[in-house]
Amino acid sequence: MLKLKLLGFLIASFLVFCESALVDTLVKCSIKDDECMKTFYQSLIKKLGDNGAPEIGINKIEPMKLKDSTVSILGVLNITLIEGEVEGITSCKITHHRVEDSLKKVSLRILCDRFVIRGHYIMEGTGALFKGAGIENDIHGKGNGKIVIDKIEVHLEIPLRLVKHDDGDIYFKPQIEEATYDFNVLGKATFDADNIMIGEKNASEDLLKFMNENWKLLLQTFGKTFFDKAIDFVHIFTNKFFENIPVKKFILEDLSSYVN
């Protein structure tokens, strides 16, 4: 019995220790100090990249593991990453941060050096997206694929709310689902995939050549689909972070007058 109690105590202390590990290492900033806030987000990305924050349910985000993640491109081409990963989140730098005086909106600019998305995929669709390459038949594929995006800049405007939880503390509640964004690839995108079949013909080589020559047009067409998917993931871990860590742990000011 005593042993069990001791074990329970050890587990509890371990959990508390883990939690304090992330919380206690957070940079504390004035909400108006954009340079400091940039450093805060930067070090948060680094920490979540290295270790995640298991105590609040955030797995290590570098690389980020994906499973059964489907994007439907304009309803005509469905691509599922059965098992894969995204690498490069820690290559992102926060280049701009600004919070409106009312604290109702934050504006961020982020520059990421390189994203690599790779894994096992299944693809099913019509040739409609690739009319430009003279493709009429259905497309299907199952194999390994990779997308590399060099130097992408993202501009995000995220509505914010401040809420008081039952513990009496104040928490940020970013409204990611209402965020607006735009992005610009300053480098380029490169696609690679084996076993893309058009009808019964292995068209990997021809199709990839077309995609790699026309990546700009393709990103204009379906970049948003991928980006919306990426935002879903950002949503999951920002929610976990901000729902669990009160603002007093990283903001110097008392923000109670902004609770709404």
Ligand X SMILES: *[C@@H]1O[C@H](CO)[C@@H](O)[C@H](O)[C@H]1NC(C)=O
The verdict on 206 binding ligand X (CB under 6 A) reads: no
- The reply on whether position 239 binds ligand X by CB under 6 A is no
Among 76, 133, 162, 234, binds ligand X (CB under 6 A): 76
User: Which one of the spans 39-47, 71-79, 236-244, 246-254 is the region binding ligand X (CB under 6 A)?
Assistant: 71-79
What is residue 129's DSSP assignment?
G
* Residue 195 interacting with ligand X (CB under 6 A): yes
Number of residues that bind ligand X (CB under 6 A): 12
Decide: 81 and 119 in contact? Cβ < 8 Å: yes
Residues between 105 and 134 that touch ligand X (CB under 6 A):
124-126
d(CA 130, CA 109) in angstroms, rounded, equals 32
Distance between alpha carbon 10 and the CA centroid of its chain, in Å?
A: 34
- Comparing C-alpha atoms, which of 189, 249, 247, 252 is closest to residue 218? 189
Burial (CB < 10 A; 0-12, 13-18, 19+), residue 166, is exposed
Establish if 75 lies at the interface with ligand X (CB under 6 A).
yes
Residue from the set 80, 90, 204, 238 that interacts with ligand X by CB under 6 A: 204
Other CB atoms within 10 A of residue 157 CB: 15
Q: Is 223 in the site for ligand X (CB under 6 A)?
A: no
Nearer to ligand X (CB atom), residue 88 or residue 141: 141
Q: How far is the CB of 192 from ligand X (least distance, A)?
A: 9
- C-alpha 37/C-alpha 129 separation (Å) is 42
Q: Please report where in the chains the tokens 């009312």 appear, as a residue.
A: 102
Which one, 98 or 120, has the nearer CB to ligand X? 120
Alpha-helical runs (H) found in 145-190? none
Residues near ligand X, by CB under 6 A: 72, 75-76, 78, 124-126, 194-195, 202, 204-205
